Chains A and B, each alone.
Chain A
Amino acid sequence: MAARALGWLAVLALIAGLGAAFGYAPREAVQGNVQRIMYLHVPAVLTAYLAFALVFLGSVGYLLTRRAGWDRLALATAEPGVLFTGITIASGSIWGKPTWGTWWTWDARLTSTAVLFLVYVGYLLLRGMVDDQERGARYAAVVGILGAVNIPIVHFSVLWWRTLHQPPTILSPERAPVSASIGLALLVNGVAFALLFLYLLSKRLALRRLEEEIRA
């Protein structure tokens, strides 16, 4: 019941997000309408970061307590995390074509996001290949922990190339250099994506519980 309510809330928020992105937010002066991809791109990547942080939390929690709930959390956040990273890369690619003139470039942030994507695709592959549930949870937790602590190392290693990507707009210590209306539209979409993520998470958790019941 609560999951259904959350689902409808996410739908409403996404509709509001679309309205904010296409109706409320102004046309950007330099890039024109293309800039509106930002309302998909930025919330997607922030949600992906949140998801991978939760994978780390679930992995550490599982190894410390050995309780299946932590493992469920890691699994149920890793899958949407990969999904949202995929959306980030795809939308960024579509945004890059008209603004940079290329679908893909080996720029630092693009590369590190792609590496992040591959690490967690490997994580999901691993989860799919172990039959024994408890063993799979342990292995996945180790890979999940290494993947997470690796994120800053990957980030710095690719940062030391010249970068084409604009500096981060939202997660930077200085005040965000966006106008108030763009910021508000971003916020609405960010909340919408967070709700969507929570909905997917709750559904996946429930599904996993059913899977475990069948197997037991």
Chain B
Amino acid sequence: MSAYVRRAWMVAWKDVLSERRSKESLNALVFFSLLLLFVFQFALGPERARVEAALPGLLWLGFILSGLLAFGRTFLVERENDCWEGLVLTPGDKSAIYLGKLAGNVLVMIVVEVVLLVLFAVFFGLDFTPVLPALAAVLALGTLGLASVGTLFGAITAQMRARELLFPVLLLPAVVPVLLASVSATQTVLAGEPLADAAAWLKLLAAADLVYLVVGVLTFEFVLEG
């Protein structure tokens, strides 16, 4: 078991390290989030009430659009220098690689989400601090759901021709429940209501996360074969 965790950790650590040195994805993703904010502002106009009403949806729109970019790249780096073969030759259960990649994706998404929240707070004059713990819980569950499907589908589309086209077409309908539940729970939280009011949605999110994780762990080795 500890060897399994260690293997997953090494995959995640490798990705974090190469990201820290190249800063390939994060720089672009943060900049992309800033651009999204402009688009939202142009679409909604200056009225504060409209921004606040649309806020839960806008936040998750920002997260999923950034996620589409980030998840789709997860396995692209492995195509260079025969790294993919290296992964295939890794001894032991291949699902450790999936979990490692998933951890890396969740980490990237957390950074993007924090940046987006700060940008929203600054540019739209919002204050998230009173609801921060509840919001963090919703974000964590929602992000795990998006990333677990995104990592699996990212591995599938990495080996394909029209990947940037196919990836969103596959991922978006599959994560509809995660988006629905996350937006609804975020709405409850941002309205200042207690987290318990969104309990049904949180349970649904947790169940969905679990199902996606199990499917990912069980099927990943068939995807990794290349």
A→B interface (CB under 8 Å)? 63, 115, 118-119, 121-123, 125-126, 129-130, 135, 138-139, 141-143, 145-147, 149-150, 153-154, 156-158, 160
Q: Which residues of B contact A142 (CB under 8 A)?
A: 152, 156, 219, 222-223
A-B contact pairs, 18 of them (CB 8 A): A125-B170, A126-B160, A126-B166, A130-B160, A135-B226, A139-B223, A142-B219, A143-B153, A143-B170, A145-B219, A146-B149, A146-B212, A146-B219, A154-B176, A156-B177, A156-B204, A157-B181, A160-B201
Known contacts A138-B223, A146-B215, A157-B181; A129 and B162 CB within 8 A of each other: yes
Query: In the bound complex, do residue A153 and residue B204 qualify as a contact, i.e. CB atoms below 8 Å apart?
Result: yes
Q: Which residues of B contact A121 (CB under 8 A)?
A: 169
Give the interface size bracket for B toward A. Answer: 20 to 34
Bound together, the chains give a CA A118 to CA B222 distance in angstroms of 24
Query: In the bound complex, do residue A135 and residue B159 qualify as a contact, i.e. CB atoms below 8 Å apart?
Result: yes
- Chain B's closest residue to A140 (CB) is B156
Known contacts A142-B152, A142-B156, A153-B207; A126 and B170 CB within 8 A of each other: yes
Known contacts A115-B176, A142-B152, A157-B176; A122 and B223 CB within 8 A of each other: no
Contact of A143 among B156, B161, B204, B212 (CB under 8 A): B156
Bound together, the chains give a CA A135 to CA B222 distance in angstroms of 9
Q: Which residues of B contact A63 (CB under 8 A)?
A: 219, 222
The main secondary structure of chain B at its interface with chain A is: helix
CB distance from B164 to the nearest CB of A (A): 12
B→A interface (CB under 8 Å)? 149, 152-153, 156, 159-162, 166, 169-170, 172-174, 176-177, 180-181, 184, 200-201, 204, 207-208, 211-212, 215, 219, 222-223, 225-226
- Chain A's closest residue to B225 (CB) is A138
Bound together, the chains give a CA A31 to CA B82 distance in angstroms of 65
- Chain B's closest residue to A63 (CB) is B222
Using A115-B176, A121-B169, A142-B222 as known contacts, list a sample of 16 further A-B pairs with CB atoms less than 8 Å apart, ordered by residue number in A. A63-B219, A122-B166, A125-B166, A130-B160, A135-B225, A138-B225, A142-B219, A143-B170, A146-B149, A146-B212, A146-B215, A147-B174, A153-B207, A156-B177, A156-B204, A160-B201
Q: Which 7 A-B pairs have the closest CB atoms?
A: A157-B177, A118-B173, A142-B219, A122-B170, A119-B173, A153-B177, A157-B180
- Chain A's closest residue to B179 (CB) is A157
Q: Which residues of A contact B181 (CB under 8 A)?
A: 157
Q: Which residues of A contact B207 (CB under 8 A)?
A: 153
- Chain B's closest residue to A130 (CB) is B160
Residue of A115, A125, A139 with most chain B CB atoms under a 10 A cut-off: A139
Query: In the bound complex, do residue B180 and residue A158 qualify as a contact, i.e. CB atoms below 8 Å apart?
Result: yes
- Chain A's closest residue to B149 (CB) is A146
Q: Which residues of A contact B204 (CB under 8 A)?
A: 153, 156-157
Residue of B161, B170, B225 with most chain A CB atoms under a 10 A cut-off: B170
Query: In the bound complex, do residue A153 and residue B215 qualify as a contact, i.e. CB atoms below 8 Å apart?
Result: no
CB distance from A59 to the nearest CB of B (A): 9
Bound together, the chains give a CA A63 to CA B181 distance in angstroms of 31
- Chain B's closest residue to A138 (CB) is B222
Bound together, the chains give a CA A142 to CA B169 distance in angstroms of 15
Query: In the bound complex, do residue A160 and residue B200 qualify as a contact, i.e. CB atoms below 8 Å apart?
Result: yes
Q: Which residues of A contact B169 (CB under 8 A)?
A: 121-122, 125
Query: In the bound complex, do residue B225 and residue A149 qualify as a contact, i.e. CB atoms below 8 Å apart?
Result: no
CB distance from B180 to the nearest CB of A (A): 5
